[in-house]
Chains A and B, each alone.
Chain A
Amino acid sequence: MIFLRRQVPLLITLITGLVFAGQYYVPHPASEQMLTSVTKWLQIIGGFALVLGVSSLFHVHAVKIRRKEAGWGYSFVLYVGMLGTIAVGLWANGKEAVDGAMTAFGWVYNFMMVPLQSTMFAILAFFIASAAYRSFRARSREAAVLLIAAVIVMMGRVPLGEYLIPLSGDLSQWILNVLNASVRRAILIGVSLGTVALSIKIIFGMERSYLGGGKE
């Protein structure tokens, strides 16, 4: 059992990791065909992952409802919403409209999901303004630099700011193109090197936490 649970996954990881790291540099038709097949598997696994995610969500909220935990009413709303959407989605064959006429699924999407998600995002503007007022203070030199940069970029990104302070547009572009891009690039390089190191550790079996149960 240990062999199946430990050695086999490690062997699969080692072989596929090495093969597909090498595949990127081999443009031979056979190599390309192999990639095509594997990406199809990936897409199929992606579909199953969706089923797994939905069933896990159902399970978590079913437990909350059964135990009547705090906020179980929201879990009930989630159940009703999800089951209702799945039912009308299946009924409408996943189509929002048929021959120009909106289906029940389309109605749920257009008049519930779209406005609800848009509202959630729009509310952010109010909370950001309130949070900025309460916490965006020049408590240190670093915070002062951040604050000045933020004000310049906020001015430079809107027509009114450029109208009031014509230089703010060019300054904000310079901050974004030079300061921001170079720092972001440094972070990206750091993250990428970390990813390469982690990938090597996973491929060669040094990092095994993905197998579950922590390190042996």
Chain B
Amino acid sequence: MSFTERMLKIDRRIIFLVIGLCTLIPLLYPVGLPIKISQEVRGVYDHIESLPEGATFLLSLDFDPASKPELHPQSISLLRHAFRKNLRVIALTLWVSGTGMADQVVTQVAREMGKENGKDYVFLGWSPGGTAVIINMGQDLYGAFPADYNGKPTKGLPVLQGVQSLRDVNYAVSLGAGRPGVEEWYVFGRDKYKFELGGGCTGVMAPGLYPLLRSGQINGLIGGLRGAAEYEILIDQKGKAVAGMDAQSATHLAIIVLVIMCNLFYFSSRSRARQQGQAGA
């Protein structure tokens, strides 16, 4: 077996080791390369910035622990921004497996920003039905969520004063890791109940949401860890996303180098096989 053939059949544990080191080393020794802010992320930031104090901001945390590394930093940044702007925050999740995590992040950021449950924010929890929950909230928010996550009746909560349905929400952001997520919030929510909508998603999902972004159906998109890092920079509170960008840089570069190498070996072994074929003929 020639060198190129041996390289093409390299033990995958070596690749695992390379990726592992590329993730670990930058986390231990961060470089802190500058991160450019994209228009998509700025769209969400600018809209929240433009909202007056006391405006209603709905955050739907539609993800489970599998997407935590990408969407958790996004939710922290968005909540910090909303609380800093003194917006009234209504949080919920359409993913049952993400309920506990969503509650923790909302409570943790609210505590950090000195906000009061029921007055400054409310976590509605999860309700079955997926997209039906969105329509139901659009018709009657109290029908969809008669009580919040802690069992307190939603009717009469100061944070929901003047909010009857999704029509009364000033801005909504869905952080989605799949379905139901950003697309469903547009199709079943924003399209009918006419509120402004922004999105956040995992890196792999972002290209699929660009048509919504380009047509103005969503006014901004926070894509993956990169989007979260950009948002952390915009609100001037660097966190886990910025810290993870060096690791992501190194792994991306490692994969690119691996792909280039495999193609070089592939073409070299193909041309050798062709030459051997001609010599044989």
Mostly, the A contact residues are: helix
A199 within 8 A of B: no
**Cα of A153 to Cα of B153 in the assembled complex, Å:** 48
Does B157 belong to the interface (CB within 8 Å)? no
B262 to chain A: closest residue by CB: A133
The one of A32, A49, A151 that contacts B259, using a Cβ cutoff of 8 Å: A151
As a 0/1 sequence over residues 42 to 81 of chain A, the CB contacts with chain B under 8 angstroms (1 = contact) are 1101110110000000000000000000000000000000
Question: For the complex, is B136 an interface residue (Cβ under 8 Å from A)?
Answer: yes
A18 vs B253: C-alpha distance when bound (angstroms): 54
**Closest CB in chain B relative to A64 CB, distance in Å:** 23
B34→A43 contact, CB < 8 A: no
Q: Is the CB of B144 within 8 A of A43?
A: yes
CB-CB < 8 A to B127: which residues of A?
43
Q: Is the CB of A132 within 8 A of B97?
A: no
Query: B224 contacts which chain A residues (CB < 8 A)?
Result: 157
B175-213 CB mask vs A (1 if < 8 Å, else 0) is: 000000000000000001000000000010011101101
- Give bound CA distance, A163 to B249, whole Å: 10
A134→B265 CA distance, assembly (Å): 11
Decide if B256 touches A154 in the complex (CB within 8 Å): yes
Residue of A32, A117, A132 touching B255 (CB-CB under 8 A): A132
Is A114 touching B128 in the complex (CB atoms < 8 A)? no
Return chain B residues, CB-CB under 8 Å to A154. 252, 255-256
Contact flags A136-163 to B (C-beta < 8 A → 1, else 0): 1110000000010011001101111111
User: Chain A interface residue count: which class?
Assistant: 35 or more
**One of B11-19, B53-61, B77-85 contacting the partner:** B11-19
Give bound CA distance, A136 to B261, whole Å: 11
Nearest Cβ on chain A to B55's Cβ, whole angstroms: 25
Chain A residue numbers with a CB within 8 Å of B69 are 118, 121-122
How many A-B contacts are there with CB distance less than 8 Å? 165
Identify which of B15, B136, B252 contacts A39 (C-beta below 8 A).
Answer: B136
In this complex, what residue of A is CB-closest to B9?
A134
Residues of A within 8 A of B68 (CB): 114, 117-118
The yes or no answer to B129 lying at the interface (CB within 8 A) is: yes
Separation of A157 and B38 alpha carbons in the complex (Å): 10
Contacts of B255 in A (CB 8 A): 128-129, 132, 154
Task: Report the minimal beta-carbon distance from B224 to chain A, rounded to whole angstroms.
Answer: 8
Measured CB to CB, the residues of A under 8 A from B are 24, 32, 35-36, 39-40, 42-43, 45-47, 49-50, 96, 106, 109-110, 113-118, 120-122, 125-126, 128-130, 132-134, 136-138, 147, 150-151, 154-155, 157-163, 169, 173, 176-177, 180-181, 184-185, 188
Give me 5 other A-B pairs in contact (C-beta within 8 A), A121-B67, A160-B246 excluded: A126-B16, A137-B266, A138-B267, A157-B252, A177-B210
